[in-house]
Amino acid sequence: MSRDDFESFRDASPEVRALIDAGIADEVDDYDVEGGLAAHFAAIGVVPGAAMDHGLGAAPRGVSTLSASAKGLAVLGGAAASTAVLVALWFGFVRPHEVRRTTSAVAAVSVAHSTGGHGAPALGPSTNAGSATNRVAAPNATEATEATPVPAITPLPELAAKMSEHRGRRSAKAESDEAPTLPTASSASLVETPTAATPMANPEKNALSAATTGSETNVEDRTTAETNADAFSPESAEERRDRAEKAQVKADERLERDMKALMQAKRALAEDPAKALSLAREGEREFPKSMFGEERRALLLLAMIRVGQVDAARRLAAPYLAEHPDSPFARRVRHALDAAATH
């Protein structure tokens, strides 16, 4: 079919053209992008790495039918206990009608994993194996350097990198959980230990032998590297693993605090914008590389507009709107600024 044919189709008849025009004009404006994105954040925040790949995956297949209820979460068991906490947090953040989405999203992950791709179509190899396959790019960051009486809106943090990091850490933890017997410095035990688990369980050693592929040469290299690493650090593999787990717990707690702070600010926006502004600023300071940076900055701008700091908000909004011209958050900010201008 030539390009001419492509173009000529629209001239087929006025009726056909009218219907197609109606379809083109329909932008599905009623779809709640913000709510959907909040649910998506909850899903990937809840289930990155361990939960998605190892924790929830162990849930019974019957969970697939438990869309939309706390019942679904209850069956997920201990491995998902922390996820339930995060989901509960999100329940306070997302609107009631979004609860179903959030829970079903969690269930969907479980289905996808527990059915080996039956619940959701198999879409090729998973890329959650760690940093080697985490190819999520950091968005372009531009420095906001305006001198204003309020804290400058920092550029969109490396949301992607954060997600990638988070997933990588969880994967590493899950991998180490799967290989409770960590290799020692002896070459015999290294050979017997699955190679795939070794670099994940020992990221520091892995950095010393990045090219490890399981060949004899690499095993030897790794052995040397491990010996060297041990010579420089008295820390045992067990201690390193404990340290990694503690770091993971800390990261999870931070994410939880981040989400909670954002929730508080969002809730305050309608009733007490000054408080929302204060909370958003605090959040900016405490979580400069937050996964929810874009949302928090939109919140901050909306709060500023509501407390009457319209000019300052307009200045700060300029780089934000330039960076995210089509985002739903930008749309809200733009509308709020327009509304403020007409009053």
> Considering only residues 25, 231, 270, 341, which one is a binding residue for other proteins as defined by CB under 8 A?
25
Smallest distance from other proteins to CB 199, Å: 18
> Considering only residues 4, 5, 216, 238, which one is a binding residue for other proteins as defined by CB under 8 A?
5
Query: Binding of other proteins at residue 11 (CB under 8 A)?
Result: no
Q: Which two tokens stand for residue 8?
A: 């000529």
Q: Kindly determine how many residues on this chain lie close enough to bind other proteins according to the rule CB under 8 A.
A: 66
Calculate the alpha carbon distances from 276 to 120, 206, 264, 298, 324 in Å: 39, 44, 8, 11, 22
Calculate the alpha carbon distances from 196 to 164, 167, 172, 211 in Å: 19, 17, 11, 12
How far apart CA 23 and CA 28 sit, in angstroms, is: 10
Considering beta carbons, is residue 45 or 273 the nearer one to other proteins? 45
Considering beta carbons, is residue 133 or 184 the nearer one to other proteins? 133
18 sits in which H/E element: helix 14-25
Q: Specify the amino acid at residue 265.
A: A
> Considering only residues 37, 70, 185, 191, which one is a binding residue for other proteins as defined by CB under 8 A?
37
> Considering only residues 7, 15, 216, 338, which one is a binding residue for other proteins as defined by CB under 8 A?
15
How far apart CA 149 and CA 171 sit, in angstroms, is: 43
> Considering only residues 82, 100, 182, 312, which one is a binding residue for other proteins as defined by CB under 8 A?
100
Contacts of 124 (CB under 8 A, 6+ apart): none
Nearest to 267 by CA among 227, 235, 299: 299
Q: Which two tokens stand for residue 87?
A: 């989901």
Query: Binding of other proteins at residue 22 (CB under 8 A)?
Result: yes
Considering beta carbons, is residue 141 or 274 the nearer one to other proteins? 141
Q: Which residues make up the interface to other proteins (CB under 8 A)?
A: 1, 5-6, 9, 12-13, 15-16, 18-20, 22-31, 33, 36-37, 39-41, 43-44, 52, 67, 98, 100-101, 104-105, 108-109, 112, 120-128, 133-137, 139-140, 159-160, 163-164, 291, 294, 324, 326-329
